[in-house]
């Protein structure tokens, strides 16, 4: 018997039939003796429908009223799921964010959770009930409805799990786990049985969009074991947990992430004076252009080169700003490239193993790929290369680091 928090996203509750299927699954857990809290999103399509309504009456919707509007999406789902559970003869009760209550700050549309009162839910669980909680929403200290931002239901689930000291937080989605890389790019990508919070953060932020980054951070901070599973088929999914198994056999690399939509800006021949990186990147950031990789080489001849990458959609904006500053700084030139990509190895094993970087560079060289930029952190190595080589790079690295699915089932992942 365990206390389990399950989260189902919009697709998993997108129709009455799917809601009934969720109720079936919850019943199986209850029947084997588990206590279950279910966190749900709005039915798929509902949030877009509500946003369209708001746009039909307002050119600049006020965030407080948008939160009142959008929070109805999850409210509909909790009522329907509670009804479907009751139809299964389970004792179920729905909870709005304000009823739990999930106290947040007052930053409408992007509120942060400050505290969760789990008492009422725990007393329901102990009375044999299933608690159904609206994801994505909370309430501020003045009783205003707030939302955690799109995708925030994952965060709700993890936060509720932490508050209840749950044994596991299960995130049901449309994939059956976290893979060594995107199976659409590498046929023999393998589902990971286990991965650490840190690895998951690097995988997620680099483009493997299975879980919201914030939810993973939250789970790591409160050490809530997190499991990603499919809501459409049975299977163990991938467990995301702390790195408590210092197994020497842990693989060096857990997965390969990549990001296709990058663009590169190089400012060449900038006089190498203190604060030059800030002088260039400050205005870019002020214009709300998000900068990803930043590389500055050591100066030669009193000048240096600064390179950074941005999302491809924002390249034009970044270029205009950068050329303006480059002129002021007497830089030699600004060069841009809108057809690059980033490929990263991720693995906690890298912490204690040398030689991974050079093995990565050799693998790419062997297939004739030129590396344009390199950045490293404790548990990842990223390279920027020409976009056309992306699939080739990912596949070569996947094989070189032993990630290919060999058909042999083994628990070979970290943790």
In whole angstroms, how close is the CB of 50 to a second copy at the nearest point?
7
**Residues 6 or more apart whose Cβ sits within 8 Å of residue 96:** 71, 75, 78, 134, 137
DSSP state of 191: B
Residue 111 touching a second copy (CB under 8 A) = no
Q: What are phi and psi of 36, to 5 degrees?
A: -125, 130
In whole angstroms, how close is the CB of 324 to a second copy at the nearest point?
36
Residue 20 touching a second copy (CB under 8 A) = yes
CA-based torsion, 234, 12, 173, 312: positive or negative: positive
Residue 137 touching a second copy (CB under 8 A) = no
In whole angstroms, how close is the CB of 233 to a second copy at the nearest point?
22
The number of C-alpha atoms within 13 Å of 336 and in the hemisphere containing its C-beta is: 17
Pick from 11, 44, 65, 338 the residue near a second copy by CB under 8 A: 65
Pick from 24, 31, 87, 333 the residue near a second copy by CB under 8 A: 87
Q: Which residue, 52 or 354, is less far from a second copy as judged by CB?
A: 52
Residue 66 touching a second copy (CB under 8 A) = yes
Residues 179-208 that bind a second copy (CB under 8 A): none
Of 86-94, 355-363, 384-392, 398-406, the window that binds a second copy (rule: CB under 8 A) is 86-94
Pick from 4, 30, 96, 334 the residue near a second copy by CB under 8 A: 96
Give burial (CB, 10 Å; 0-12/13-18/19+) of 219.
buried
Residue 53 touching a second copy (CB under 8 A) = yes
Q: Which residue, 102 or 306, is less far from a second copy as judged by CB?
A: 102
Whether 362 and 371 have beta carbons less than 8 Å apart is answered as no
Residue 44 touching a second copy (CB under 8 A) = no
3-state secondary structure of 142: coil
Give burial (CB, 10 Å; 0-12/13-18/19+) of 184.
exposed
3-state secondary structure of 387: helix
Residue 68 touching a second copy (CB under 8 A) = yes
Give burial (CB, 10 Å; 0-12/13-18/19+) of 130.
buried
Residue 63 touching a second copy (CB under 8 A) = no
In whole angstroms, how close is the CB of 132 to a second copy at the nearest point?
9
Furthest C-alpha separation in the chain = 78
**Residues 6 or more apart whose Cβ sits within 8 Å of residue 209:** none
Of 14-22, 175-183, 186-194, 375-383, the window that binds a second copy (rule: CB under 8 A) is 14-22
The secondary structure element, H or E, covering residue 296 is strand 291-296
Query: Which positions touch a second copy (CB under 8 A)?
Result: 16-17, 19-20, 23, 50, 53-54, 56-62, 64-66, 68-69, 71-72, 75-76, 78-84, 86-87, 92-94, 96, 98-99, 143-145
């Amino acid at each position: 018997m365990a206390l389990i928090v399950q989260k189902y996203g919009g697709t998993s509750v997108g129709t009455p039939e799917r809601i009934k299927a969720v109720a079936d699954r919850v019943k199986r857990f209850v029947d084997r003796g588990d206590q279950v809290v279910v966190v749900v999103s709005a039915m798929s399509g509902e949030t877009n429908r509500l946003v369209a309504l708001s746009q039909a009456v307002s050119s600049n919707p006020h965030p407080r009223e948008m939160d009142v509007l959008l929070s109805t999406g999850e409210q509909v789902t909790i009522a329907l799921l509670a009804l479907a559970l009751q139809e299964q003869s389970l004792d179920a009760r729905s909870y709005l964010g304000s009823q739990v209550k999930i106290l947040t700050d007052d930053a409408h549309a992007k509120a942060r959770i400050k505290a969760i009162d789990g008492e009422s839910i725990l007393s329901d669980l102990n009375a044999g009930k299933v608690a159904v909680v609206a994801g994505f929403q909370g309430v501020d200290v003045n009783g205003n409805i707030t939302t955690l931002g799109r995708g925030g239901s994952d965060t709700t689930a993890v936060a509720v799990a932490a508050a209840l000291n749950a044994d596991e937080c299960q995130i049901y989605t449309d994939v059956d786990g976290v893979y060594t890389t995107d199976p659409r790019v590498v046929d023999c990508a393998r589902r990971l049985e286990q991965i650490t919070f840190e690895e998951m953060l690097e995988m997620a932020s680099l483009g493997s969009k299975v879980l919201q980054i914030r939810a993973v951070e939250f789970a790591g901070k409160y050490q809530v074991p997190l499991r990603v599973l499919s809501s459409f088929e049975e299977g163990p999914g991938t467990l995301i947990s702390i790195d408590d198994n210092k197994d020497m056999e842990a693989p060096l690399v857990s997965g390969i992430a990549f990001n296709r939509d990058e663009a590169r800006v190089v400012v060449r021949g900038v006089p190498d004076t203190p604060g030059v990186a800030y002088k260039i990147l400050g205005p870019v950031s002020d214009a709300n252009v998000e900068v990803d990789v930043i590389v500055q080489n050591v100066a030669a001849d009193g000048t240096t080169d600064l390179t950074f990458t941005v999302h491809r959609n924002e390249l034009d904006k970044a270029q205009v700003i950068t050329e303006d500053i480059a002129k002021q700084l007497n830089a030699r030139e600004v060069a841009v490239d809108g057809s690059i990509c980033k490929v990263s190895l991720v693995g906690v094993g890298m912490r204690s193993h040398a030689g991974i970087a050079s093995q990565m560079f050799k693998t790419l060289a062997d297939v004739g790929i030129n590396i344009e930029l390199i950045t490293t952190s404790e548990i990842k190595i990223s390279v920027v290369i020409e976009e056309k080589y992306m699939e080739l790079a990912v596949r070569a690295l996947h094989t070189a680091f032993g990630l290919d699915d060999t058909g042999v089932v083994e628990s070979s992942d970290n943790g």
